[in-house]
Amino acid sequence: MKRYKENQLKVYNSLTKTKEDFTTITDGYVGMYVCGPTVYSNAHLGNVRTFMFFDVVYRYLLHLGYKVRYVRNITDAGHLENDADDGEDRIAQKARLEKIEPMEVVQRYTVDFHDVLKNYNFLPPSIEPTATGHILEQIEMIKEIMGKGLGYEVNGSVYFDVLEYNKKENYGILSGRKVEDLIHNTRALDGQSDKKNPQDFALWKKADKRHIMRWSSPWSDGFPGWHLECSVMSTKYLGESFDIHGGGMDLKFPHHECEIAQSKTCSGVTPVNYWMHTNMLLLNSQKMAKSTGNFILPNEILSGENKMLPKPFSASVVRFFNMQANYRSILDFSGDALEASEKGHAKLMEAVNFLDKIAPGKTSTFDVQKWKSACYSAMNDDFNTPILIAHLFEGVKVINLIKEKKASLNSADLETFKVIINEFVFDVLGLMNENLQDNSSKINGVVELLIKLRKEARENKDWALSDQIRDELIALGIQLKDGKEGTTFLIN
């Protein structure tokens, strides 16, 4: 039986602002869409916190036995400097400043984004579509919205009519904002004079002379509005209605609100069953943002090349730090907090590494099944990783008691205990056993040194020493293979 049949997952739905039982549209299948990066600069750690949490969601859904189609887009066009539909496309702006092609900007920062996720042990999504790869579909959706009487064209740009939509639907259903308040709070900005209403948003923008990225459309040479791509790509790959849509809380309005309006206009149905939003990551108690210079890049943490931390920290420690707070809570990142997480992470890995040395006892002094249920209950409660980690440290305590011969587990309980710890630590949380990786690296280094000494012995015709090195390595399960390009080895 699939694990999801035995585990009732509850998810906090940003739309209803309550925890709800998670029920998929199609039994055994989950469709999940997460808003990806706009690739005009390096993703900072605050951005990565969101992707890291949804990596854990993805991992846990897979662990439960669901077949998951996880779609995370790349925004490589159409994201303006602000949400008021004016200014310059951020990618085009970067390209103009650096005097390179926009797609060079896209390529550079897409590669960097993927490198970061690889370093931090992310699973790749099922599909990673790009905005520029779906221009035709975006044009078709605009035509459909216009055909429903909710899109209008002015001077080559097309806008979504929020007030008209709001006559039958609720623009503000996700964010809780009211159209009346939006009218009152809207500032007069350049580029808004073409709109019927200040709160209307762009579906297509006519490109001015300085705009590098542009495509042909029935209305003008221009580019799609930022919100449109996610409506297009989510429905294309997941259908008119799907299970989970995720992103940072800063996207709730206007981005996700606009997505709902666009998608519902076209399909007539509610596009998403569960909306999930992560909270902010602070840096030294201040909002992390590039605009203020208060940010840190993920790879700067690994290298130690930054002015904010006392030393380098591993990717697994950073993951562990992130998982110690609920995803809907504000998390404050600092050197002290990372050092504390590093100590906890080391204790966890030390205990995990001792697992294989534990011999089964005749009886169990620890209720493994109750502990196992508690681990699942934590994750089933809206992916509560801090509570899961607390239960894992109960397991650490048991391991240490067994070390001291003050506790024991019978054969069946020990096997269950080992499996659950490994599955939750590595498969679900995505932590990495860096102690083992370090040991493997050291072993490889020692073998390479012995190969070098053996080579010198052979060059000096010291066949006895050469054979001794080879034979003693074989006795340790390490086989040498001499070839034209040198000597390689295989650890059996």
pLDDT in tens, 184-234: 443 344 445 689 999 999 999 999 887 888 999 999 999 999 899 999 999
Whole-number percent of the chain with pLDDT over 90: 74
* Ordered alpha helix ranges (H), 355-410: 368-380, 385-403
Q: Name the band, by pLDDT with cuts 50, 70 and 90, for residue 287.
A: confident
Q: What is the pLDDT of residues 98-146, one digit of tens each?
A: 888 888 999 999 999 999 999 999 999 999 999 999 999 999 999 999 9
Alpha-carbon torsion angle 237, 243, 249, 251, nearest 10: 30
Burial (0-12, 13-18, 19+ Cβ within 10 Å), 464: exposed
Each residue's pLDDT tens digit, 41-56: 999 999 999 999 999 9
CATH fold for domain 282-428:
Isoleucyl-tRNA Synthetase; Domain 1 (1.10.730)
* Fold (topology level) of 3-278: Rossmann fold (3.40.50)
Mean pLDDT value of segment 391-419: 97
Token pair recorded at residue 351: 């205990």
**Is residue 160's pLDDT more than 50?**
yes
Least confident piece of the model among 5-19, 116-130, 181-195, 356-370:
181-195
Please provide residue 70's backbone torsions phi and psi, each rounded to the nearest 5 degrees: -105, 115
Q: Which segments of the chain belong to CATH 3.40.50.620?
A: 3-278
- Tens of pLDDT, residue by residue over 442-469, are 566 677 778 888 888 888 888 888 888 8
What ranges in 64-187 are assigned the alpha helix state H?
Answer: 90-98, 102-119, 135-147, 162-166, 179-185
**Comma-separated ranges of CATH 1.10.730 domains in the chain:** 282-428
